[in-house]
Amino acid sequence: MSIHVVKAGDSLWRISQTYGATMQQVIEANEIQNPDLIVVGQALVIPEAERYHTVQAGESLWVISRRYGVSVNEIVRLNNIQNPSMISVGQRLRLPRKPRPIVETNTYVDPRMTGTATAQLVEKAGRYLTYLSVFTYAVRRDGSLVAVEDQPSLNAAFNNGVIPVMVLANFEEGTFSTELATTILTNESLQDKVLDEALQVMETKGYGVLDFDFEYLGRENRERYNRFLQKAVTRLRPRGYLVSAALAPKLTGDQVGVLYEGHDYEAIGKIVDFIFFMTYEWGWSGGPPMAVSPINQVRKVMEYALTVVPKNKIMMGIPHYGYDWTLPYVRGGTWARSITPNQAIQLAVRYGVSIQYDTTSQAPFFEYKDEQGKDHVVWFEDARSIQAKFDLVKELGIRGFFYWVLRGGFPQNWLLIEENFIVRKR
């Protein structure tokens, strides 16, 4: 795959000819609705039978090999180069395929949002997934669990060799509840009931992992949560189950705030089998416009996590969505609308605006004015921002990555997984 950013005067025919692909391949890879409607700044994934590089002034084979992460000897061999120190500007070099690291992948699904259509999304993405996390078996105050209509998604997971992950959360009336968490974490018998019910569901439905997504715990629940996770591991591991936890993005161990103080990276890293670090929602629907998952902030979280958690337990979060904010932003005012990457492109096409790219956050954005004359700004993910995150995963050598949340409308993502990684199937 190559990533091409549309320039003024580009057409799909011209782009496809440049890369030696067909127009139909480009259309299908990017799910383009109207081939005549592409916008400046739009990132396209281009399927290529071979990869090539055109030598630029001042480049050497060593420079080219470093850029693409391949060896000089392989470039020499593929192009039958007699003298490696003698290459010319404009020379087209065939490139070997880069070695691909093996990673584990996961995506959260929310059957309440998409109903049985979720299963169709899982079928489509299943070949690229190690795990599938079903959000959520919410914990009630009496220790029982709210049932989820998950069987269609589970069947799709089994069909594709994907391990289902059962998610437990202190989720009540559409939000995470500190009070609910405290009720459970201060009562041993309620904890036992939660684990009893979870085990029954796992054994009945075929779940392989139990994931704890307890958020907004507060400092008072920090040690209590550690003990609860240890109790879960003690009960589940002898039965062959894995245990994971989803944790808020922190930059230090003593970071202040009810979202952060209850999550002890170091202790939890020693207890569970792996951790989903929720490295997204810097830009969120109720906050000011900005990138949802800026790579500079994601890197800081990952670098801190690596100081206290083994890298083979770290799963980095990636959003599968963006937000459309109505301007001017007013705190407590209208919340931003969540959109898929393809919906963002359609908005840019509809209003005839160019897509810009912020190099610090490694994220695309654009502004437009709607029919009522209201100004908007959209931040979302595209092939470039996903590639930047994949590059970080490879650089850090962590276990893998996961998505919130599977909704469709981002075909480039799956093609780039295949380009960058080999997905471990258990």
Structure letter (DSSP) for residue 84: T
N- to C-terminal Cα separation, the chain? 26
- Of 93, 18, 88, 4, nearest to 53 (Cα)? 93
**Cα 129-130-135 angle, rounded to 5 deg:** 80
At 8, which amino acid appears? A
**For residue 99, what are the contacts with CB-CB under 8 A and spacing of at least 6?**
69
- d(CA 403, CA 316) in angstroms, rounded, equals 9
The active-site residue, picked from 215, 261, 381, 419, is 215
**Cα 386-387-390 angle, rounded to 5 deg:** 90
Rg of the chain over CA atoms, in angstroms?
Answer: 23
CB burial of residue 187 (10 Å; 0-12, 13-18, 19+): middle
- β-bridge mates for residue 339, sequence order: 322
Are the CB atoms for 309 and 266 separated by under 8 Å? Answer: yes
Tell me whether residue 197 is one of the annotated catalytic residues: no
* CA within 13 Å, CB half, 241: 24
- Of 179, 188, 296, 301, nearest to 235 (Cα)? 188
- β-bridge mates for residue 211, sequence order: 167, 244
Residue by residue, DSSP assigns 356-390 as EEETTTTEEEEEEE-TTS-EEEEE---HHHHHHHH
Structure tokens at 331: 């705190």
Please give the positions annotated as active site.
215
